[in-house]
Amino acid sequence: MKKEVVEQYLKTILSLSEDGKPVKTTELSKKMELAPATVTESLQKLASDGLVKYEPYHGTTLTEEGLVIATKIRRKHRLLERFLSDMLGLESSKVHEQACEMEHKLSDEAEVALCRILNHPDTCSDDSQSIPPCGLDVKSCVECKDQALADIVKQKERKSLKPLTELGAGEKATIQFIRGGRSIVQRLNSMGLTKGAQISLQKSSPFSGPVEISVRGCKVALGRGVAKKIFVQ
């Protein structure tokens, strides 16, 4: 099943199991407007994936993993309702439907950013349903806000960085960031090019020629392609 379909099933099961009782297949079929046979087949697949516990003629409950996914989608949906209502001024009659379409596409990173920009709301747009807490490793929303401010500062600092290739001859700088995978980072680190290292540009050959720098008392020649991956301040 597609990710969106799985999430919709889990979210619907969660909403129908508020009383703690297993959800009947007929009940789920009616809610999702699908044929009972289709729902039964889907529940069997979800059960084989470890997302639900399905017992014919008895009902369906979410497993711990299924509950985590369903709660995450519920949180995204209700945050989107606040955004569509409070920030975009969408008509209340259209908020729920629009949020349903968007919830499956909202990344976890965007969810965190959305919560922060909405100032960590407690309930959805009509104040009738609470928004589940996030899964971030923070003690409170205050700590989350502080982290957001710290991230903004880091972003501003990152914007002031420039690649090593833009230094002039004799200019000194400090390495702040290396772009690339583990292999290139490890290779540069072994040459003394680590975050915080002081470097001085000795010579920059024209066009695609190498860049010569001094780092930790040693002279190092780097290909221009590699030098562009080293950002300094």
Contacts of 54 (CB under 8 A, 6+ apart): 43, 44, 46, 47, 60
Lowest-pLDDT range, 65-69, 86-90, 176-180, 190-194?
Answer: 176-180
Average pLDDT rounded to a whole number, residues 40-50:
95
How far is C-alpha 159 from the chain's CA centre? Answer: 21
Domain positions in the chain: 3-62, 162-232
Protein fold of 162-232: SH3 type barrels. (2.30.30)
- The per-residue pLDDT of the chain, averaged, comes to 88
Distances (CA, A) of 156 to 159, 166, 192, 195, 232: 5, 19, 26, 18, 14
Give strand ranges (E) for 42-132: 52-55, 59-62
Distance CA 78, CA 130 (A): 8
pLDDT confidence tier of residue 154, bands split at 50, 70 and 90: low
Does residue 201 have a pLDDT over 80? yes
Structure tokens at 73: 């989608």
Distance CA 49, CA 43 (A): 10
Does residue 71 have a pLDDT over 90? yes
pLDDT digits (tens, 9 = 90+) for 96-132: 999 999 999 999 989 999 998 998 888 888 777 888 8
Question: What was the pLDDT predicted at 184?
Answer: 84
Q: What are phi and psi of 110, to 5 degrees?
A: -65, -35
Domain 3-62 top-level CATH class: mainly alpha
Better-predicted residue by pLDDT, 163 or 13: 13
Same topology between domain 3-62 and domain 162-232: no
Q: Flag whether the pTM goes above 0.75.
A: no
Distance CA 89, CA 93 (A): 11
Running DSSP on this structure, what letter comes out for residue 51?
S
